[in-house]
Amino acid sequence: MKIALLLITAFLLAFIQTDDRTRYFPIAVEYPEALPEKHNLWIFMMAGQSNMAGRGQVEPQDTLSHPRVFTLDRNGNIVLAKSPLHYLEPTRTGLDLGHRFGYTLITQLPDSISVLLVPTAVGGSAISQWLDDELFRGVHLRTNFREQLDAAMQRGTPKAVLWHQGESDANDRNIPYYQDRITELFRLFREYAGNEQLPVILGELGLHDKNAVNRARINDVIHDYAANDPRSAVVPTTDLSHIGDSTHFSSEALRTMGERYAQTYLNTFHATETVQKRGFWQWLRGLFR
């Protein structure tokens, strides 16, 4: 009788959890055996609102760890990165683009380099709330970004900000001010990093719902900003799918975004830095080895 009850209970739990967004969330935390030297631990800050925080369904492939891809947990510890990375909204968070971003990077970087992904995005946050350091969903947005960056910089070197935000600003009231606001916010991010040349990579908004016209206007502003800031670049996303709510990108789309953000960093910024450090002719010879 007891065995039968246990089997029935297990079946019911499995059935209940079938549609549970957390059913593949990892339980085990893994810590790195050792950390690389500070200049070889590359920091990438993840900031913005819900499509950076991630609303995709986490699947087993998203929880595989790699010894050179790290993140910061809620206690400031460096751990091996497993999705979900963002923890500030425990009842909402899901798959984000960071895991695939990190994996894509390390396949094309020297073995000496490791990646530290630092999650700071909060769903629903508007650009003015970041600038005003507003307390939003329990988080002082800009203070949290700075504190997480400071913690990461004790052990690594900032390499870029990954930014996806704008759905909350896609309206007639905020669009006219959006470019000035992101210009000021990114200036502050660079100031915190102590690097005026810190790259910022921005993702386009999806154009899935009835507000597509205003979201397209935000995308125009993003492209205008990048055209005037050589240390920024835009990742295309308008061809990607959503989860069914016309706002949040699907798991497949987020993995693709992670790959695109990584390739944008590698092609636009890392390649340029490599050329500057090694010299053009040495770099060119290396391509044909």
Q: Residue 210's pLDDT is what? A: 84
Residue 261 sits at the vertex; the CA angle it makes with 189 and 214, to the nearest 5 degrees, is 75
Q: Residue 160's pLDDT is what? A: 98
Residue 233 sits at the vertex; the CA angle it makes with 268 and 242, to the nearest 5 degrees, is 115
Q: Give the model confidence (pLDDT) of 207-219 as tens digits.
A: 988 899 999 999 9
Please report, in tens digits, the pLDDT of each residue of the chain (289 residues total). 444 433 333 333 343 444 488 999 999 999 999 999 999 999 999 999 999 999 999 999 999 999 999 999 999 999 999 999 999 999 999 999 999 999 999 999 999 999 999 999 999 999 999 999 999 999 999 999 999 999 999 999 999 999 999 999 999 999 999 999 999 999 999 999 999 999 999 999 999 888 999 999 999 999 999 999 999 999 999 999 999 888 899 999 999 999 999 999 999 998 666 545 555 455 456 555 5
Q: Which among 69, 86, 58, 4 is positioned nearest to 30, based on CA atoms? A: 69
Q: Give the tokens for residue 279.
A: 């010299």
Q: Residue 281's pLDDT is what? A: 53
Exposure string of 24-43, with b = 16+ CB inside 10 Å and e = fewer, is bebeeeeebeeebeeebbbb
3 state SS of 250: coil
Q: Residue 68's pLDDT is what? A: 97
Answer for the pair 41, 83: CB distance below 8 angstroms, yes or no. Answer: no
Domain 27-287 matching CATH 3.40.50.1110: the answer reads yes
3 state SS of 198: coil
Domain boundaries, the chain: 27-287
CA distance to 72, 84, 94, 192, per residue, from 91 (Å): 19, 12, 9, 30
CA distance to 46, 170, 180, 226, 258, per residue, from 219 (Å): 19, 10, 14, 11, 19
Q: Residue 286's pLDDT is what? A: 58
User: What residues pair up with 95 in beta bridges, in sequence order?
Assistant: 56
Strands (E) located in the chain:
41-48, 69-72, 78-80, 114-119, 135-136, 139-140, 157-164, 200-203, 232-235
Q: Residue 20's pLDDT is what? A: 81
Count of C-beta atoms within a 10 Å radius of residue 91: 6
Rounded CA gap, 100 and 135, in Å? 30
